[in-house]
């Protein structure tokens, strides 16, 4: 088990270093001079050159990479060109919205998907299965902003239970903050839950054909008990894989939902930074996301080992 853990950890670190090189290199090659952008089209070449020197853009590539990577390690991401504040402050502010949003959406998606998957798999081919999988198909096909608009219409405009958009900040208290995240979380969770339910169903159906399910039934356990005790855990590996991917998506891929609900999240920050060539912000957020994805994958890998004892002893 220790060997498995250390190996996974080493792979994660190597991936992180590699990713940082790629991110740095790609943004270097991209057209667009940040100094020129900051100063505007009318600035003279001398002014641009001066700013480039100030920003350290004229130093050798390797040195700049090391400087940047070293900064990342000490959480010093540099200053945003456009906002003129430390990037870390921007990111921290945005994460306070995006991270809870992603976690709530992920939890909702899991809570909806796994019971639906279980229900569907246990009634394979019957009406209940057809209906819930039809609904899941719809959930995958319909874009989440449409869900968002419907939710706003029903719960904010019509029932007036929650605000239609905006984020009051955590300083306004936990309850109003959570309230304003609820609809976006549901809108994000529904399509994810639909995907996850389908994955859960197909993984379960495969497991239900295994011989050990018959062995468990021959012990006298009712079908439902067999489903929960024997089938579900064996079907977890593909489900965990999808969960890991979904978390990464929910952290950064939420720009449309953020726009629909006027949420100051990470997605909007990146979008703005890209349009304004604010490379430092883009680099930092991308690296942060890379780190988050790698960390989530590490957790997923470790949870495989928790679920399946064969992985524990093989490595």
Partner 1 sequence: MSLLEIDSLSLTIGDTQILKGMELSVAPGEVMGLVGESGSGKSMTALTAMRLLPHAARATGRVTFDGIDILAATEDQMCALRGDDIGMVFQEPMTALNPVKTIGEQVAEGIRWHTKVTRAAAEERARQMLDRVGLPQAKFPLSRYPHELSGGQRQRVVIAIACALKPKLLIADEPTTALDVVLQAQILGLLRDLVAESRMGLLLISHDLAVVTEMADRITILRRGEVMEAGDTARTLSEQLHPYTRQLAQASMHVPARARTHDTSQGKPLIQVEGVTRDYPGRRSSLLKRAAPIRAVDDVSLSMQPGQSVALVGRSGCGKSTLARMILALDRPSSGTIRFRGETITGKSEVELKPARRDMQVVFQDPYGSFDPRQKVEKLVAEPLHVLEKKPTRAERREMVAHALHEVGLDQRDMDKYPHEFSGGQRQRLSIARAIITRPKLVVADEPVSALDVSIRAQILDLFAELNQKLGIAYLFITHDLTVARAITDEVLVMHDGKIVERGKTTEVLDHPQSEAAQALVAAAPDLHRAIARKMQEQG
Size of the site for partner 1 (CB under 8 A): 26
The yes or no reply on residue 7 touching partner 1 (CB under 8 A) is yes
Please identify, among the stretches 45-53, 163-171, 272-280, 302-310, the one whose residues bind partner 1 according to the rule CB under 8 A: 302-310
The yes or no reply on residue 222 touching partner 1 (CB under 8 A) is yes
The yes or no reply on residue 11 touching partner 1 (CB under 8 A) is no
Which of 56, 61, 219, 228: binder of partner 1 (CB under 8 A)?
A: 219
The yes or no reply on residue 234 touching partner 1 (CB under 8 A) is yes
Residue 46 vs 211, nearer CB to partner 1: 211
Query: What's the rounded Cα separation, in Å, for the pair 270 and 279?
Result: 10
Task: Please give the span between the terminal C-alpha atoms of the chain, in angstroms, as a whole number.
Answer: 7
For the bound state, the minimum distance from the C-beta of residue 215 to partner 1, rounded and expressed in Å, comes to 5
Angular region, 308: left φ>0, alpha ψ -120 to 50, beta rest: beta
Residue of 63, 51, 81 lying closest to 24 (CA atoms): 63
For the bound state, the minimum distance from the C-beta of residue 129 to partner 1, rounded and expressed in Å, comes to 12
For the bound state, the minimum distance from the C-beta of residue 112 to partner 1, rounded and expressed in Å, comes to 24
Please identify, among the stretches 41-49, 90-98, 109-117, 221-229, the one whose residues bind partner 1 according to the rule CB under 8 A: 221-229
For the bound state, the minimum distance from the C-beta of residue 314 to partner 1, rounded and expressed in Å, comes to 8
Which of 121, 216, 260, 300: binder of partner 1 (CB under 8 A)?
A: 216
Residue 90 vs 213, nearer CB to partner 1: 213
Whole-number Cα distances in Å, 189 to 22, 112, 175, 193, 267:
31, 9, 20, 6, 16
On whether the CB atoms of residues 25 and 69 are closer than 8 A, the answer is no
Query: What's the rounded Cα separation, in Å, for the pair 90 and 97?
Result: 12
Residues 59-88 that bind partner 1 (CB under 8 A): none
The yes or no reply on residue 6 touching partner 1 (CB under 8 A) is yes
Per CB under 8 A, residues contacting partner 1 are 2-3, 6-7, 210-212, 214-222, 229-230, 233-234, 307-310, 313, 315
């Amino acid at each position: 088990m220790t060997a498995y853990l250390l190996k996974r950890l080493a792979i994660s670190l190597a991936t992180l270093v590699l990713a940082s090189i790629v991110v740095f290199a790609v943004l270097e090659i991209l057209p667009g001079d940040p100094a020129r952008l900051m100063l505007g089209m009318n600035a003279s070449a001398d002014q641009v050159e001066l700013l480039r020197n100030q920003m350290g853009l004229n130093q050798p590539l390797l040195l700049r990479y090391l400087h940047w990577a070293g900064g990342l390690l000490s959480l010093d991401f540099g200053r945003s060109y456009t906002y003129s504040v430390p990037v870390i402050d921007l990111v921290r502010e945005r994460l306070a919205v995006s991270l809870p949003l992603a976690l709530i959406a992920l939890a909702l998606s899991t809570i909806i998907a796994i019971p639906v998957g279980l229900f569907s798999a246990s009634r394979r081919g019957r009406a209940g299965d057809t209906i819930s999988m039809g609904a899941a198909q719809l959930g995958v096909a319909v874009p989440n902003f449409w869900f968002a608009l419907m939710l706003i219409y029903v719960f904010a405009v019509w029932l007036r239970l929650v605000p239609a958009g905006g984020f009051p900040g955590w300083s306004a208290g936990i309850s109003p903050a959570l309230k304003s995240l609820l609809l976006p979380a549901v809108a994000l969770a529904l399509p994810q839950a639909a995907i996850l339910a389908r994955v859960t169903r197909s993984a379960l159906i495969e497991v239900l054909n295994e011989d050990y399910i018959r062995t468990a039934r021959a012990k006298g356990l009712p079908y439902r008990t067999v489903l929960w005790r024997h089938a579900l855990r064996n079907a977890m590996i593909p489900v965990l894989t999808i969960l890991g991917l979904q978390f990464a998506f929910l952290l950064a891929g939420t720009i449309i939902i953020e726009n629909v609900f006027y949420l100051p999240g990470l997605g909007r920050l990146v979008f703005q930074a890209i349009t304004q060539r604010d490379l430092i912000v883009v680099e930092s957020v991308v690296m942060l996301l890379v780190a988050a994805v790698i960390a989530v994958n590490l957790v997923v890998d470790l949870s495989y080992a928790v679920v399946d004892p064969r992985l524990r002893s093989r490595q």
